[in-house]
A and B are shown apart, each in its own frame.
Chain A
Amino acid sequence: MYPFSYTRVSDLRTAVQAGSDGGRYIAGGTTLVDLMRETVERPGKLVDISALPLREVTATKGGGLRIGALMRMAEVAAHPTVRALYAVISQALELSASAQLRNMATIGGNIMQRTRCTYFRDVTASCNRREPGTGCAAREGFNRTHAILGTSEQCVATHPSDVAVAFAALEATVHLLGPAGERTVAFSDFLLRPDNTPQREQSIRQGELITAVEVPAQPRPLRSGYVKVRDRQSYEFALTSAAVALHVRGGVIQVAKVAAGGVGTVPWKLSAVEQRLIGQRPSEALWTQAAEVAADGAQPLAHNNFKVELLKRTVERQLRVVGGTR
């Protein structure tokens, strides 16, 4: 680990100031410390933001939720309002990492976490995301866990977060505070596909701080849930996953929010699947038919071809679990 200086901040202004001066925010530290130890990350100055007042879940006017960026994963998962209104968020969090890590890691840090591509984490391998221009070792290497959607010539790594998949499905917004003041970014614009600049992962500027993730109001009742498919039963990143939220009224699906994880370079919003669901009556056949388009546009690699079929089946499964069958 490279040496670094360390400061603790307790108010937002000082934090943003320190961030703008080249400081690197540290929240739970579960991504950052890990990558610093691998020398993938080499910040010269750490700004500890854990004392900032960003640790609340609050209801927004329209009936949505604002989740403070420093809420820990465990706290958000257990939060009664979150559980009651957005089961998909609680489930995505509780299927993430381990109890210990969820006690440390924050929501802001979670959506900022970096890919688990093993070549990215191995500083002796070539990796465009870590060192632009060096090539992508995964593309022709071992890529079983890599993305099939949203990939580029430059990079094929997945975004590993689970809760980000729920946020993508629910069309959350990210609240940022920077030297120039506050702004919000739609979740779909916040995490960036690799394209030609895989090193640019989020639309966040130097010194900007995530203050909250806001989940917009949804019509009620809303049924939602998250499924995560992985080799072992727990403590593993997703091979595939699906976040589904459905609002059914009068026997017809009025609102459908669907996204997939483990398959995209960013959490993958499945608008085509949503389209096939809206206005339809729930049925086994509908789930199958809607899930058929889940992997449209997929570009599998040598070892992750199975994700194409697995993705469809994962989405179908979760539509059935959330939507039930009549």
Chain B
Amino acid sequence: MSPQPQKAVGSPLSRVDGRLKVTGKAAYAVDHDIPGAVHAVVVDSSIALGRITGIDTSAAEACPGVLKVITHRNAPRLVYRDNPVSNNPRGRRLRVFQDDQVLFFGQPVAAVVATTLEAAQHAASLVEVSYEARQPTTDLAGRPGNPLLNYARGDAEAALASAEVRLDREFHLARNHHNPIEPHATIARWDGDKLTLWDKTQYVIGTQNEAAAVFGIPVENVRVISPFVGGAFGTGLRTWPHVAIAALAAREVGRPVKLALSRRQMYFTVGYRPRYEYKLRLGADRQGRVTAMAHEPTYETSNHETFWEATLFLGQMLYNVPNVSQTLRTVSLDVNTPLWMRGPGFSSTSFCIEVAMDELAHELGIDPVELRLRNEPTRDLSTGQPFSTRRLRECFRVGAREFGWDRRNPKPRSTRDGDWLIGTGVATGCYDTNRARAEAHARLDANGTAVVQSAASDAGPGTYTSMTQVAADALGLAVREVEFRLGDTLMPPAPPQGASQLMASVGSAVQDTCDKLRQQAISLAVGDRRSPLHGVNPDDVVVIGGRLQVKDQPARGETYRQLLARNNLTHLEANGLYNPEAESPYSMYAYSAVFAEVGVDVNLGLVRVRRMLSVYDAGRIISPKLADSQAVGGMVGGIGMALLEHTVTDHRDGRIVNANLADYLVPVNADIRDLRAIYLDGDDRKADPIGVKGLGELVKVGVAPAIANAVFHATGRRVHELPITAEALL
């Protein structure tokens, strides 16, 4: 098979769905116009632990327009069979309206269905629930941790004891909420025993399987549609209780039901980045070679489920550390269950490791970039495997040059600009390259255009665009001649849009599919007496601009249209697949070097990021314009994590105190100045057939520590807690 020229891939294309998005025509979950739909509003528990002793729904039911109030008293029993095709963690998931138990603050305790949104909202506020409340425990320090995972190599304790330099630190990271601007929302419609859901989800197949499991119906009876997702950052990887509520409500009232969570409810039932407490001990020699690290991370999970995220990888593989010990603990609290948030695990652990590395550099008087280079491993010490690619050195070299790192005076508190103390900091970012089985379908029509589809999701990275690019090159068509569709369970299955695996997996499947389709056309042509390509070795044929031609003899060929027309074919189609081997012989990660410059107001303690530069080793970049946006967006997210974001729980009653966007602060436009991303020109075919290593998660990792290190450099104050706010710096 002759390789196709890559024209679309790697070119700075504008988003193919851009026009829909700037005209307001892109239809997100509750934008779909489903005739006859009525509205459901969820009533939340106002206690965090206990039992419902009474629900008075009479006032709500008396409201004009109210069709039904659903509570555990009148809800039918639901099946809730086990669901392996989901991201449900170990444990017993919340079952909506199945009993009188309250497990966390804001748990749904009733739902009101009414003909208008106004009526449903008002009636929901009239539902009177009485409780027998018990004292909840919601503070990480409130209960002992349960060991979840251990790891050891070498003898960390001995190496620490004999180390020339030692650090012993404890880090505290706040809980963060994903807070996409689109709240979770679902429309549910039953047609007999068939259920259709228009849902905000990063995993239509997950939602499909979960809905089927909840209602005990065959998976094929559920269709999930999700063409546009208004941001998710991980919160759409699991099917949360409101989806079941929407479907239940629709079944109860016999009409389609629309249910959108309020912003407040976005802090109750749809996951979050867990709070961390992280003890880290580090030993090194005077040359800055780290000889030992002992990690003891602890994070929160719910009482009913044990959340897992990749907390241990970085500590095992990032640096050339011979002696490592790790103990991961979870604390089970009376809270909702966390869920992966952008750069899950890695973002949190990198803060601790990279701040500690900065402290070590400072203590030893070694440049922080140099310190990291001195600890570069030649292979993955956790598995012994070679790296598929690892160009972290180059990231640092390019980054230091472009950022002007060598102009830095290493002394803390040495640079000032008016009232601002200026500091710069650096950190390593890293995220693992994941791949999963994916399928796609492609169809080439007689008019020479193609439609390619896979049940993937696009919550912002630009799946529509990047898949169109891959498909266009593989088919030898112009981008505008290819349409990529996603977000529907009727399409071939795709993995969740999480863990940065979508591009690699679906991209490889799309490539395989389109390769097959192209080969089909080529075979047809070379076997067709009437074709100018008759008898040519198929391996010598390429397709360019919709025209099949001999590679070295471009004049000899014909177009798809001519070929299909002559053969009286309306279309050609193919199914394709990407099915990665379970075990790769390589250690596969994407890397970055993150540089930040901050100003800290010398009197007021305010921190403002003045500029950032990140250099990424992320394999091949399919869509440079969109990749740049992702990178910059990841930095913005990291700035939020570093300086602003903090979900506050009132531990007296488990209430989330700042459950709104005026009090849970995310960066605004004025917080963001000069952000720059550089992707090393790369291609990692050991990772996957299209050579990508994933970006979406990587871009957030390392941002918070780079900022924290810059704050130290500006002020001489070392902060071990996130977010870093004025009170720590006054």
Contacts and interface: CB of A to CB of B under 8 A. Distances in A.
Interface of A: 1-3, 37, 39, 116, 118-119, 121-125, 137, 140-142, 145, 229-237, 239, 305-306, 309-310, 313-314, 316-317
A3 B604 CA distance: 46
Residues of B contacting A: mostly: loop
Residues of A contacting B: mostly: loop
A307 B207 CA distance: 47
A240 to B, nearest CB: 8
Contacts of B605: 310
A205 to B, nearest CB: 30
Contact of B121 (A1, A124, A142): A1
A44 B118 CA distance: 15
Contacts of B608: 233
B1 interface: no
A306 B730 contact: yes
B657 A142 contact: yes
A239 B670 contact: no
B726 interface: yes
B726 A306 contact: yes
Contact of A141 (B118, B657, B668): B657
Contacts of B727: 305-306
B644 A310 contact: no
Contacts of A124: 46, 655
B655 A229 contact: no
Interface stretch (B289-297, B309-317, B659-667): B659-667
13 contacts: A1-B121, A37-B121, A118-B658, A141-B652, A141-B657, A231-B643, A231-B725, A232-B644, A233-B671, A305-B727, A306-B726, A314-B604, A317-B604
Q: Of A37, A116, A309, which is in contact with the most chain B CB atoms at under 10 Å from its CB?
A: A309
Contacts of A235: 668, 670
Interface of B: 46, 118, 121-122, 125, 419, 603-606, 608, 643-644, 648, 650, 652, 655, 657-660, 662-663, 665, 667-671, 725-727, 730
Given A142-B648, A232-B643, A233-B670, 19 more contacts: A1-B122, A118-B657, A119-B657, A122-B655, A124-B655, A142-B658, A145-B663, A231-B606, A231-B665, A233-B608, A233-B671, A234-B670, A234-B671, A239-B726, A305-B727, A306-B727, A306-B730, A310-B604, A310-B605
Contacts of A116: 662-663
Contacts of A142: 648, 650, 657-658
B668 A140 contact: no
Contact of A118 (B118, B663, B670): B663
Contacts of A125: 655
3 closest cross-chain pairs (CB), A and B? A124-B46, A233-B670, A306-B727
A141 B653 CA distance: 10
Contacts of B650: 137, 141-142
A262 to B, nearest CB: 12
A141 B668 CA distance: 27
Q: Of B644, B657, B659, B667, which is in contact with the most chain A CB atoms at under 10 Å from its CB?
A: B657
B401 to A, nearest CB: 30
Contacts of A231: 606, 643-644, 665, 725-726
A42 to B, nearest CB: 10
